[in-house]
Amino acid sequence: MILAFDIIILIFMVVAAIIALNVKDLLSAAMIYGIYGFLICLLWAEMGAVDVAFTEASVGAGVSAVLFIATVYNTKRKSSD
Amino acid sequence: MTDQLPAIIVLTPMFGAILVSLLGNRDHRICFPIVLVSLLISLGASFGAAQEVFSTGAINYFMGGWEKPLGIGIQLRIDALNALVLLVIGSVSILTAFFSIRRIGEKNTEKTPQFYVLYLLLCSGLFGITIAADAFNLFVLIEVSSLTSYGLVAMGSSRRGTHAAFNYVIMGTVGASFYLIGVGYLYMKTGTLNMMDIRSILQSNVDIANSNAVTIAFLFILVGIWIKMAFFPLNGWLPNAYSYCPSSSACILAPLMTKVSVYVMLRVMISVFGLEWIFSHAQWSELVVWLAVIAILAGSIFALAQREIKKMLCYLIVAEVGYMVGGAWLADAEWWGLTGTIYHIIADAAMTLCLFLAAGIFVRRFNAVEISDLEGLFKKAPWTSVGFVIGGLAMIGVPPTCGFYSKFYLIRGGIDAGHWQFVAALLISSLVNAVLFFRIFEIAHFGNKPAEGHDHSHDANADEAPARQEAPLNALIPLLVSAAAILLIGLFNGQIVELIRVALEDFSTLALNLR
Amino acid sequence: MLSKVFATIAVVITGGLLLYGVMDFPAFGDPHSPPNAGVKGGGESISQYFITQTYRDTKVPNIVTAVLADYRGYDTMFETVVIFAAGMAIFAILRVVGDNNDPTKKELSSDDALSQKGDHNRIIIGTTCRIIIPIVQLFGLYVVAHGHHSPGGGFQGGVLLGSSFILLALSQNLNAALRRFSEKNYFTLAATGILIYAGFGVACQILEKNFLDYGVLQKVLFTDGPEMARSHSMLGVEVGVAFTVTAIMFSIYANLSSRGTLKDGL
Amino acid sequence: MVEFFEQHFNFWIYVILMMIGLWAVIAKNNLIKKLIGLSIFQTAIILFYVSLGVKENSTIPILDHHAPAAEVSADPHHNDEPSETGNHGELHPKAGHENDHHADAHVGAHAVEPDTMANPLPHVLMLTAIVVGVATLGVALALAQLIYKEFGTLEENEVLEIIKGGEAND
């Protein structure tokens, strides 16, 4: 575990979370959520939780983002907030 | 064979669900027998387990045989407290299964197998929650029952139901996550997930028991469970979710979900933290009784304001949850409040089942959604009315029914503990229930419209014609059985309370000072 | 606006309480904190038991897999059940059953730039995916089978396999994926997965041990010693998990992308 | 205070992420945004759990069962550790005891020092939680699509207005 690496990813994660929630375009929000998932997966690999990282990479960054995109595509892309 | 009972209770409904999903699509008629058989096996196993527990003591079951050191595997435990809850779950689920036959046949026929799969998995989850003795396993099973209940609630066709189900998903997930946070804090301080293990560490190690983290853990677990059981300020999801979902879903969810959540709260209070710890560390326990008082009053007042039968019943559930939370937190010297709460779990399951079955019949048979639609019900369907009246009387708390006795024990606890506001709230709530139900009885007997006198001549010469509107047998029998259960639970309250006292005595060696 | 004020208050209170609890925690990364080393006066530390004894008990080097599939196998079974229930719930909620004449035809609004139909059959995407999908599937199978020795296992492999079908549906269209993996098939596969998992458990019960006590299966699996029986059973169980997860991941995508009609898709 | 902040940096970030997620769940108007918030809330909890199991200078919880015995115990960091804490000393006899069980060639590799490996239990728990999370997300997204189909919007205030309008018409 490298502390600097840890802190940098954590700060990136907070930034990604805030952006994902504040973007008005839902497709972008879903993509940024995918980025968030990938960052958290990196963090876990770095913390020694390889299995969790693997799952998060496939579930959080992969399938979840695809499900969000599928829903956004089938509904509306613009959000009021 | 008897040592395998805990596994059989939980797993049979799950196997039933798999069978239904494999075979059900080909022929829908095969679904119901599978459901019935698997639930009957579970109920039978629960009976066997209960007998075993009351004759020889608690049954411990270690999944995968990982027994030592404690906590490496997952423990299941049936003791006197949850044996009673198991029986309640088994009986309610079988009765509701009968009720659900026709309904699914009429609408959404294509989704019948999916309904039963979710139904059985819900039962499996509830059984599992009841006998789990591992804090994280409890979370997984809460999620099993929650996810299936989201599906069951959303199966209805009304627009408002969809929105209610969405809110339910959000609230339910937040509640489960709060529980998970609490378990995490507890794990951080104790290093184990097994409930018995946590308990013994909290008892033996004063430093840990006094730490902020454990208090916070308790708070978050409690709030998480309160969200699940719709305790008053957190009840936003319940009324809409239960009143706009299909009747058969409402009949399984309303009696069981909140009661099992109350049971989980008791389990966490009694055998994870220990009552001793709670009432010496949580100075805010008085506050919880006040919250319960507010919940009871708010539930009753909201119920008065409703025009729809099911919504009114939903707000009554909110009030009943207030009873149970308040009773558990009374902390009177002889634990009558706690006894009343456990008795009320059983009694309220029967009462809620009875009333929701009746409401389901009203919707299905008479298309009666609002209270004013019930006009002339007593003549049209005398047997349905019998069930409904017994349910209503139990809700009010008229003596031979179980509703009276649970209130009696709760009030006794309130008086012992000196919480007069709780006693007053119980009495006011009874009064409100009396107003509510006698209003309905009046409408059902005399009708409420000014045109009633005009219609009366029709009724007089067509006396037997409305009699044909009696509910179908598959709905009527569960209703009458649950009504009979209300009376029986009331008549045998002495024996049941005796069992509950025995159950509490089990924990008394460590934390309770009964007598 | 009011809801935002309320939310801010609620969230600040929650966060404050959580931090108040954190103040008691041992420092981050402390190897002797209670989760890592147990508490004084308590029993043996669970985590240390897992690290030191897992290989002796199960002959599986990946401790996470061993704990997941054996020590806490009951949790994992119900986790699979959760996935299965989610698939069923989504079917119950969204699926438009019967031969409908598609009343949910999309309204192509101006901001729906995504829904340009022509995108799907582009030659580059099609060709790339045709090459990549078998590799993804092969990797998924490897992850399932090699979960004992390296990171991975039933969930990860199942999600990979499921996402290979999702990729097929994305690169061509949903029907192409459904031709290979129809609705009936994936629900059967999902149920079979749980049946395999629970079957291993019940087999142990038949041999008069507790549910999921794989050690006793050595009589059936002809392994030398209960440890290898555990190891092999874990593989079987992971395969069951992978079945269910593969099937349900694809079914969730198929239903969500086509609004429950299982036509067109994205 | 600074020390507290430094030592619990991960926990601070977990609380912040949790607050962001929960705030979005309560306050955001768009249903998809609520769900993104919910997912962030759940990952924050997972971050908390994984942080519980981290040990300094530890490796991943997979035993290197093909490695020669010397490699694991040759790590110089651990030679001076038993003197640091009393709790530690108790573990050595157990590790030695385990050696007796195994007379095979890789014996050193599994007589592993617990402090050299991350705690596997939180990882196992969180695998479960991640999967539960995606299952919930799927159900919630299906409901969101159904709401869009029936109300034509994903904004909560508009949905509530339509419901209120429908009630007034009754």
CB of B250 within 8 A of CB of B310? yes
Query: What does the alpha-carbon distance between residue D154 and residue D149 come to, in Å, rounded to a whole number?
Result: 10
Which pLDDT score is estimated for C113? 41
Span A21-56, pLDDT tens digits: 999 999 999 999 999 999 999 988 888 888 999 999
Q: Is A47 on the interface with D (CB under 8 A)?
A: yes
Which pLDDT score is estimated for D69? 44
- Going by C-alpha positions, the residue among C123, C118, C233, C126 that lies closest to residue C171 is C126
- Mutation for A interface: C132, C161, C166, most A CBs within 10 A: C166
Over residues C155-169, the mean pLDDT reads 92
Over residues B268-277, the mean pLDDT reads 86
Chains D and A touch (3+ CB pairs under 8 A): yes
SS3 for C81-114 is HHHHHHHHHHHHHHCCCCCCCCCCCCCCCCCCHH
Q: Is D53–C252 a contact, with Cβ atoms under 8 angstroms apart?
A: no
Query: What does the alpha-carbon distance between residue B225 and residue C21 come to, in Å, rounded to a whole number?
Result: 19
ipTM, two decimals, is 0.91
Tokens of A58: 């496939």
User: The pTM is what?
Assistant: 0.90
Instruction: Reply yes or no on whether the pLDDT at B38 is more than 70.
Output: yes
Over residues D33-49, the mean pLDDT reads 92
Which pLDDT score is estimated for D87? 40
Q: What is the DSSP string of C34-74?
A: HHHH--TTSSS-HHHHHHHHHHHHH--SBHHHHIIIIITHH
Tokens of B206: 């004063």
Of the listed ranges B45-54, B182-191, C92-101, C131-140, the one predicted with least confidence:
C92-101
Which pLDDT score is estimated for B504? 81
Which pLDDT score is estimated for B92? 93
Q: Which of C68, C109, C253 sits opposite A67 (nearest CB)?
A: C253
- Going by C-alpha positions, the residue among C159, C158, C163, C165 that lies closest to residue C179 is C165
CB of A1 within 8 A of CB of A48? yes
Q: How far is CA B22 from CA B108, B376, C193, D70, in A?
A: 19, 46, 12, 53
CA distance A64 to chain C (A): 10
Q: Is B159–D163 a contact, with Cβ atoms under 8 angstroms apart?
A: yes
Which pLDDT score is estimated for C241? 94
Which pLDDT score is estimated for A53? 92
- Going by C-alpha positions, the residue among B120, B132, B144, B124 that lies closest to residue B8 is B124
Binned at pLDDT 50, 70 and 90, residue B183 comes out as very high
Which pLDDT score is estimated for B156? 76
Helix (H, G, I), strand (E, B) or coil at D139: helix
Query: What does the alpha-carbon distance between residue C45 and residue B276 come to, in Å, rounded to a whole number?
Result: 26
Chains with at least 3 CB pairs less than 8 angstroms from chain C: A, B, D
Cα-Cα-Cα-Cα torsion A60, A66, A69, A75, nearest 10 degrees, comes to -110
Which residues from chain A sit within 8 angstroms of residue D5, using beta carbons?
A: none
Which residue intervals of D28-119 are DSSP H helices?
31-52, 69-73, 86-89, 91-101, 107-110
Tokens of B250: 């409402």
Chains with at least 3 CB pairs less than 8 angstroms from chain B: C, D
Instruction: Reply yes or no on whether the pLDDT at C257 is more than 70.
Output: yes
Residue D14 vs residue D68, higher pLDDT: D14
- Going by C-alpha positions, the residue among D69, D63, D64, D62 that lies closest to residue D105 is D69
Tokens 């299905």 belong to which residue?
Answer: B364
Which pLDDT score is estimated for C240? 94
Over residues A68-73, the mean pLDDT reads 90
Instruction: Reply yes or no on whether the pLDDT at B515 is more than 70.
Output: no
Provide the percentage of residues in chain C whose pLDDT is more than 90.
34
Q: Is D119–C52 a contact, with Cβ atoms under 8 angstroms apart?
A: no
Span B425-471, pLDDT tens digits: 999 999 999 999 998 888 888 765 544 444 444 444 444 444 456 77
Q: In a 10 Å sphere around its CB, with 0-12 CB exposed, 13-18 middle and 19+ buried, how is residue C186 labelled?
A: buried
Q: Which of residues 29-68 of C touch D (CB under 8 A)?
A: 29-33, 35-37, 40, 45-48, 50-56, 61-64, 67-68
- Count Cα atoms within 13 angstroms, Cβ side, for B233: 7
- Mutation for C interface: A6, A54, A76, A78, most C CBs within 10 A: A54
Spell out the residues 6+ positions from residue D104 whose beta carbon is closer than 8 angstroms to its own: none
Which pLDDT score is estimated for B102? 60
Tokens of B34: 């599978």
Instruction: Reply yes or no on whether the pLDDT at C104 is more than 70.
Output: no
Q: Is A51 on the interface with C (CB under 8 A)?
A: yes
Instruction: Reply yes or no on whether the pLDDT at D45 is more than 90.
Output: yes
Which pLDDT score is estimated for C154? 87
Q: Is C143 on the interface with B (CB under 8 A)?
A: no
Q: Is B154–C72 a contact, with Cβ atoms under 8 angstroms apart?
A: no
CB of B394 within 8 A of CB of B347? yes
Instruction: Reply yes or no on whether the pLDDT at D76 is more than 50.
Output: no
- Mutation for C interface: A58, A64, A67, A71, most C CBs within 10 A: A58
Query: What does the alpha-carbon distance between residue C257 and residue B498 come to, in Å, rounded to a whole number?
Result: 57
Chains D and C touch (3+ CB pairs under 8 A): yes
Chain pair A-D, CB pairs under 8 angstroms: 133
The count of residues in chain B is 515
Q: Which of A40, A49, A81 sits opposite D118 (nearest CB)?
A: A49
Which pLDDT score is estimated for D57? 80
Query: What does the alpha-carbon distance between residue B55 and residue B372 come to, in Å, rounded to a whole number?
Result: 51
Query: What does the alpha-carbon distance between residue B270 and residue B276 come to, in Å, rounded to a whole number?
Result: 9
Which pLDDT score is estimated for B107? 57
Span B147-166, pLDDT tens digits: 999 999 988 777 888 889 99
Residue D99: Cβ within 10 Å count: 13
Which residues from chain C sit within 8 angstroms of residue D142, using beta carbons?
A: 89-90, 93-94, 252, 255-256, 260
| Residue C84, phi then psi, degrees to nearest 5 | -60, -45
Mean predicted lDDT score pLDDT of chain B: 85
Instruction: Reply yes or no on whether the pLDDT at B418 is more than 70.
Output: yes
Query: What does the alpha-carbon distance between residue A36 and residue A59 come to, in Å, rounded to a whole number?
Result: 12
Chains with at least 3 CB pairs less than 8 angstroms from chain A: C, D
Instruction: Reply yes or no on whether the pLDDT at B396 is more than 70.
Output: yes
- Going by C-alpha positions, the residue among A21, A9, B228 that lies closest to residue D21 is A21
Q: Which of residues 101-160 of D touch C (CB under 8 A)?
A: 101-102, 110-112, 114-115, 117, 119-125, 127-128, 131-132, 135-136, 138-139, 141-143, 145-146, 149
- Torsion sign (Cα): B150, C67, C153, C73: negative
Query: What does the alpha-carbon distance between residue B375 and residue B377 come to, in Å, rounded to a whole number?
Result: 5
Q: Is D128–C76 a contact, with Cβ atoms under 8 angstroms apart?
A: yes
Binned at pLDDT 50, 70 and 90, residue C2 comes out as confident
Q: Is D15–C53 a contact, with Cβ atoms under 8 angstroms apart?
A: no
Instruction: Reply yes or no on whether the pLDDT at C173 is more than 90.
Output: no
Instruction: Reply yes or no on whether the pLDDT at C260 is more than 70.
Output: yes
Query: What does the alpha-carbon distance between residue A65 and residue A77 come to, in Å, rounded to a whole number?
Result: 15
Q: Is C258 on the interface with D (CB under 8 A)?
A: no
Q: Is C88–B64 a contact, with Cβ atoms under 8 angstroms apart?
A: no
Q: Is D62–C7 a contact, with Cβ atoms under 8 angstroms apart?
A: no
Q: Which of A13, A36, A80 sits opposite D30 (nearest CB)?
A: A80
Spell out the residues 6+ positions from residue A3 whose beta carbon is closer than 8 angstroms to its own: none
Binned at pLDDT 50, 70 and 90, residue B285 comes out as confident
Span D83-136, pLDDT tens digits: 333 343 333 333 434 444 443 434 444 567 878 888 899 999 999 999 999 999
Instruction: Reply yes or no on whether the pLDDT at C135 is more than 50.
Output: yes
Over residues D151-156, the mean pLDDT reads 88
Span B398-413, pLDDT tens digits: 888 898 999 999 999 9
Residue D112 vs residue B473, higher pLDDT: B473
Mean predicted lDDT score pLDDT of chain D: 75
D62: which strand partners? C62
CB of B461 within 8 A of CB of B370? no
- Mutation for A interface: C159, C241, C255, most A CBs within 10 A: C159
Tokens of B88: 């309640």
Mean predicted lDDT score pLDDT of chain C: 84
- Per DSSP, B472 falls in state P
- Going by C-alpha positions, the residue among B119, B143, B158, B349 that lies closest to residue B245 is B158
Q: Is B197–C42 a contact, with Cβ atoms under 8 angstroms apart?
A: yes
Provide the percentage of residues in chain B whose pLDDT is more than 70.
92
Instruction: Reply yes or no on whether the pLDDT at C42 is more than 80.
Output: no
Which pLDDT score is estimated for C99? 52
Which pLDDT score is estimated for D1? 64
